Amino acid sequence: MKIYIDGKFYPEKDAKISVFDHGLLYGDGAFEGIRVYNGRIFKLAEHLDRLRASAQAIVLNLPMSREALTEAAVETCRRNKLRDGYIRLVVTRGVGYLGLSPYKCKKPTVFIIAATIELYPEKVYRKGMKLVTVGTTRTSPAALSPNVKSLNYLNNIMAKVEALHAGGDEGLMLNAQGYIAECTGDNVFILKRGVLLTPPTSAGALCGITRQTVMDLAGEAGIPVREENFTRYDIFTADECFLTGTAAEVVPVRELDRRVISGGRPGPVTTELMRRYKELTARNGTPIYA
């Protein structure tokens, strides 16, 4: 595997950054996870828009232009002969000194990994996943906007640990007010009386690119969509429930906290949106191989 670091490519064993990089020392930086389908990078422009917004929000100047980032991502896929997989594009604050001040870091570090990925086994997509409500609440938007896709994922990691220890596939995170925020790495949707609902970003949800794509697909299918606060009660009584994420795609949910949701199988709307999403990813994206 070849890893891109600051304009050069390195074999995996030689791909290293400094121990004084503030991305390592403090989780100071931003990243994007991007999918590759059939030799095309899906929604690359949207991911680069979000990366730039995250960087701007944390006063991090991207050291590369949009065009240069695009070419670096494409070339990393080429070097690894990747046709289907996952790109991790990371921008750290860069090498500095011990201490929190970002102004000691002279230049951000950029690295890109392009590899294969399988987040959940195939049977989860056929039968649905098990959600577990975790005690770790989502970081308050008053502390850090959920729209910043930062390198500090400890909040999500602790929630994931709870979910796995409880025997779940994924953890459902609430905010301080008790409303659903998101899962540890995915957005949440429910269907109630023909309307698709998903938490607003003000509840602590990331403005996910797959989330928006599914909202657009639902609109094309004539399914009303609303961003709205809801609780576990609404999931327990939902007609359908599913998750969305770049790596996960569209994943049906069959139960929450051992309570079966709508017969314990993927519902027709979920199944239709899964189908539409796969069709979209199969034919759209930035070409890697001209």
As to burial, measured by CB atoms within 10 angstroms (0-12 exposed, 13-18 middle, 19+ buried), residue 132 is buried
Confirm if 257 and 233 have CB atoms less than 8 A apart.
Answer: no
Examine the residue annotation and report whether 149 is marked as an active-site residue of this protein: yes
162 Cβ neighbours under 8 A, 6+ residues apart: 132, 134, 135, 136, 171
Distance CA 233, CA 177 (A): 14
Confirm if 183 and 122 have CB atoms less than 8 A apart.
Answer: no
Q: What is the DSSP string of 59-94?
A: T---SS-HHHHHHHHHHHHHHTT-SSEEEEEEEE--
Residue in the block written with tokens 């050069």:
8
Other CB atoms within a 10 A radius of the CB of residue 53 amount to 15
Mode of pairing for the β-strands spanning 180-183 and 187-192:
unpaired
Distance CA 66, CA 30 (A): 15
For residue 239, give the nearest of 211, 270, 216 by alpha carbon. 270
Options 149, 160, 192, 278, the catalytic residue: 149
Distance CA 118, CA 100 (A): 36
Report the catalytic residues.
Answer: 149
